[in-house]
Amino acid sequence: MLSRIPNCCFCTAATAHPWLFVGLGNPGEKFKETRHNVQLPMNRVHCKALFGEGYVLEAPVLLAKPQTYMNLSGESVGPLAAYYKLPLNRVVVLYDDMDLPCGVLRLQPKGGHFSHNGLKSVIYHFRGNREFARLRIGIGRPPGQMDPKAFLLQRFNATAQGRIDAALPEGVAALKSVLSKGLTETARLFNQQQKYKHIRLQTLPT
């Protein structure tokens, strides 16, 4: 999702606090396109992350994809936020969420970790502070008695992949709206739209 943000002119400096958009996932070809990896990486390394920086809609933006494993994500995200001296209300973490139907998104200004190991690590490296935004990307629940860990490391089937592909532009639009309208207003409008999608998709098989 991160690499699909258009109109990004890469640079080395910014005049205001930039936004940091972080996509959590596991590194390497083994995990590519699995349910734990629903974003695409950047092209240089900084603070244990594939990284890019530039301007979107004239706003300074940092894009990062930690190259630690999911449960160590904070080892990258914490130092990145500290290096750029970012207030946590300028950080948005994108992550997979089994509590949402596949392809449904939610934007939240803050919250807990909901037993997500990547978020646990981020919160730990933010010294317990949870005042950062999250873009939750629904991947659905495992079928039957399937082990959730095995489910997370599976590749998407055609139906699920189609839903994820359709959701990515919606997520990009939400992130661009955060830059122009702010987090609170964007979350209000975006989540209202996604609520109807949730109702439509929650009973459909993937």
pLDDT, tens only, 6-22: 545 433 344 578 999 99
Task: Provide the pLDDT for residue 4.
Answer: 61
Higher pLDDT, 175 or 199: 175
Sequence-distant (6+) residues with CB within 8 A of 168 are 1, 4, 38
Task: Provide the pLDDT for residue 38.
Answer: 40
- C-alpha radius of gyration, the chain, whole number: 16
Q: Of 36, 46, 113, 125, which one is the catalytic site residue?
A: 36
pLDDT tens for 18-28 read 999 999 987 76
Q: Which of 5-19, 109-123, 187-201 has the lowest mean pLDDT?
A: 5-19
pLDDT tens for 21-58 read 999 987 766 555 555 544 434 778 999 999 988 888 88
Q: Which of 177, 80, 95 is nearest to 126 (CA)?
A: 80
Residue by residue, DSSP assigns 68-113 as S-GGGTHHHHHHHHHHTT--GGGEEEEEEETTS-TT-EEEESS---
Q: Which of 31, 7, 33 is nearest to 168 (CA)?
A: 33
Task: Provide the pLDDT for residue 150.
Answer: 87
Sequence-distant (6+) residues with CB within 8 A of 125 are 74, 75, 77, 78, 79
Q: Is the pLDDT of residue 156 over 80?
A: yes
SS3 125: helix
Using alpha carbons only, what angle is made at residue 30 by residues 204 and 71, rounded to the nearest 5 degrees? 80
Task: Provide the pLDDT for residue 32.
Answer: 58
Average pLDDT rounded to a whole number, residues 84-101: 94
**125 annotated active-site:** no
Continuous segment of H or E residues that includes residue 114: none
Q: Would you say 136 and 108 are in contact if contact means Cβ atoms under 8 Å apart?
A: yes
Q: What predicted TM-score, i.e. pTM, was given to this entire model?
A: 0.84
Q: Is the pLDDT of residue 199 over 70?
A: yes
Q: What are φ and ψ of residue 123, in 5° steps?
A: -60, -40
The CA distance from 120 to 123, in Å, is 5
Task: Provide the pLDDT for residue 31.
Answer: 52
Average pLDDT rounded to a whole number, residues 50-67: 90
Task: Provide the pLDDT for residue 205.
Answer: 76
Q: Name the pLDDT band for 181 (thresholds 50, 70, 90).
A: very high
Give, as one character, the DSSP assignment of residue 156.
P
Q: Which of 94, 74, 96, 106 is nearest to 154 (CA)?
A: 96
SS3 43: coil
